[in-house]
Amino acid sequence: MPVHNADITAIFTEIADLLEIQGANPFRTRAYRNAARILGDLPQEARLLVDRGDDLTRLPGIGNDLAGKINEIITTGRCGLLERLHRELPPAITELLKIPGLGPKRVKSLYHDLDVQTVEQLHRAAQDGRIRALSGFGEKIEQNILQAVEAHADQSQRFKLATAAQYAEALRAFLQAVPGVQQVTVAGSFRRMRETVGDLDILVTAKPGSPVMQRFTAYDEVAEVLSAGETRASILLKCCMQVDLRVVEQQSYGAALHYFTGSKAHNIAIRRIAQQLGLKVNEYGVFRDNQRIAGDSEESVFRAIGLPYIPPELREDRGEIEAARAWRLPQLVELTDLRGDLHAHTKATDGHDSLRDMALAAKEMGLEYIAITEHSRRLTVAHGLDPIQLARQCDEIDRLNAQLDGITLLKGIEVDILEDGSLDLPDGVLARLDLVVGAVHSRFELSRAKQTERILRAMDHPHFTLLAHPSGRLIEKREPYDVDMLRIIRHAGQRGCFLELNAHPERLDLLDSHCQSAKEEGVLVSINSDAHSTFDFSNLRYGVGQARRGWLEKTDVLNTRPLAALRKLIKKTM
């Protein structure tokens, strides 16, 4: 069975979690956690590197031991260390880590101090009031845990967009190679670029006699065939993701693609318009009485009901149909519109590559500039820079820019916004930089009023340029902190600074709805990778997808500007 990077990432993350629960050496734990992130961000499948005989230790943060385990996982589908840890710890303890707000440290305390081993035991402990007595918990956290456990019981499994992409793209390539197959498209929420995906819907056109259905149900990664027929089948992959395949006629392909892309609310609205015109829209086409009048392409479906083509990312019934009727749909930003990236890290802090390597990788991606924005000193876990270290890096950037051709490094910092709204570095240091990216990395639990005022005060700082990952969320791991985002957006407009759309698949922050608000308020958004390695620039595609869901056009995005125009804009904030 092919092993995807997401599979290796899941194994290494679980190893790190179990080691931390055991109380293992923190450096060993951190090595597995870093390796999981590196593999998760790697744009090419590690198994292809192994097949080519590449030296895995050339990957940042991967030594001989980790390389050996990657090889073991790819060649056997198993990991001996993980199996040993499973034998040493209660089998259900990893389920606790799926509860929002419970990381390995808290699970360790719950396990060692209260002998909590299952979600059910956790629920009882919270109900009985036993958790609040533990060091580092308290009554509020206990109540949050109780609510999270009850909410968790109602949730179906979803996959982050980038994780779903690994399975979707492998399946698409597999099906495209089947004899007789003509078109393969992954539809559903994946095509709409939702931040998480529940299952995959794949549409295929094929010549008569193609064995596509038999090949699909015999795919190496199938755990269970849920149903199988001549034109449709459903499977469950070993990663627990359901995939539905439908083979459709070419004359119905566009109608089926529209229908299975969704969303449900959008489709209902489209059918209602069709009914008003005396038409019927379904997965087979657009019909007047029994005559098909459209359906071979999505464009024909929209045209039949008097609308221009609506891009998949907008199909959420959030105003796109009204905009289409008025011929005011946005010309959505494209990945190729990006000229630079304003948030990147190197091995000077918690990144994995040098300044030069990051610059060359960005150039290879077609970018013209990147801002080097290391963490500031307050974030000790990331080895943040103090004023002296930052000044040295500025000098290094100046020297490197004199040597580089076709790519420019901008001097920046991702400076911590402290609880009182001040910035973590003195004005004299910040004044030397091309831009200052402010970020909240602590005290997420502040009240809505205090958190909002904290960020507003930081934005008023004379050297503040850009607010990083504005809501602070980590998808399915950490909820956004409570903040008045509309007030922040409007203040950014008044102050003349900018907001980041962080493209890392675990963040995708700004939310799409906040992107729309920024657009309406005239606040420019910067789509940034938050790259910690040369591979991470590929995450920009997910940020662009989120921006498109938020109706952003090229002119709404700060880093679509050429360098000279960008410098003029950011200089106004300094």
pLDDT digits (tens, 9 = 90+) for 246-288: 999 999 999 999 999 999 989 999 999 999 999 999 999 999 9
Same structural domain for residues 146 and 166?
no
Instruction: Let me know whether 147 and 287 are in one domain.
Output: no
Mean pLDDT across the stretch 236-241? 91
Give residue 98's pLDDT.
79
* Domain shared by 136 and 201, yes or no: no
Rg (the chain; Cα; Å): 25
Residue 52 has pLDDT above 60, yes or no: yes
Q: Which two tokens stand for residue 102?
A: 């419970």
Residue 330 maps to a domain: no
Residue 196 covered by a domain: yes
Q: What is the mean pLDDT of residues 105-118?
A: 87
Task: Note whether 291 and 429 are same-domain residues.
Answer: no
pTM (two decimals):
0.81
Residues 187 and 272 in one domain: no
- Torsional sign, CA 286, 288, 289, 293: negative
Strands 435-439 and 159-160: unpaired
Q: Is the same domain home to 126 and 98?
A: yes
Q: Bigger pLDDT: 126 or 418?
A: 418
Over range 412-441, report the average pLDDT: 95
Tens of pLDDT, residues 541-557: 999 999 999 999 999 99
pLDDT-based confidence at residue 156 (cuts at 50, 70, 90): low
Dihedral sign computed on CA atoms, order 454, 458, 460, 465: negative
Report the CATH number that the domain containing residue 508 is assigned in CATH.
3.20.20.140
User: Which of 247, 280, 295 is at the close of a domain?
Assistant: 247
Mean pLDDT, the chain, rounded, equals 92
pLDDT at 155: 58
Q: What is the spatial distance between Cα 181 and Cα 196, in angstroms, rounded to a whole number? A: 28
Does residue 93 share a domain with residue 176?
Answer: no
User: Is 469 within a domain?
Assistant: yes
Query: Among candidates 214, 184, 198, 203, which has minimal Cα distance to 245?
Result: 203
Task: Give yes or no: residues 307 and 450 share one domain.
Answer: no
Q: What is the pLDDT of residue 506?
A: 92
Mean pLDDT on 53-65 = 89
> For residue 391, what pLDDT is reported?
95
- The sheet with strand 199-206 has its strands ordered as 181-186, 199-206, 242-247, 232-237, 222-228
Give the residue-averaged pLDDT of 209-219: 96
What is the rounded average pLDDT of the residues 400-415? 97
CATH of the domain at 298: 3.30.210.10
CA distances 285 to 204, 256, 317, 510, Å, are 16, 7, 21, 36
pLDDT reported for residue 157: 76
d(CA 514, CA 87): 46
> What average pLDDT score do residues 47-65 get?
89
Q: How many domains does the chain have?
A: 4
Place of tokens 């489209």: 270
Within 13 Å of residue 291, how many CA atoms lie on the same side as its CB? 4
Residue where a domain terminates, one of 216, 247, 278: 247
- Tell me the average pLDDT across 83-95: 82
Q: Mean of the pLDDT values across residues 423-434?
A: 94
pLDDT value of position 96: 85
**Judgement on whether residues 174 and 138 belong to the same structural domain of the protein:** no
- Which of 152, 187, 215 represents a domain boundary (last residue)? 152
Average pLDDT over residues 367-383: 90
The DSSP secondary-structure symbol of 285 reads E
pLDDT of residue 153: 60
CB atoms within 10 A of CB 472: 21
For residues 324-342, give the mean pLDDT: 97
Q: Which two tokens stand for residue 29?
A: 């734990």
Buried b (16+ CB within 10 A) or exposed e, 150-165: eebeeeeebbbbbbbb
Selection from 371, 466, 383, 388 nearest residue 425 by Cα = 388
Question: Does 385 share its domain with 458?
Answer: yes
For 80, the domain range is: 5-152
Domain co-membership, 98 together with 135: yes
Tell me the per-residue pLDDT of 142-154, one tens digit each, with 9 for 90 and over. Answer: 888 888 887 766 5
Structure confidence at residue 1 as a pLDDT band (50, 70, 90): low
Residue 269, in any domain of the structure: yes
For residue 99, the model assigns a pLDDT of 84
Average pLDDT of span 317-339: 96
For residue 124, the model assigns a pLDDT of 85
Q: Does residue 134 share a domain with residue 23?
A: yes
- Rounded Cα distance between 363 and 299, Å, is 36
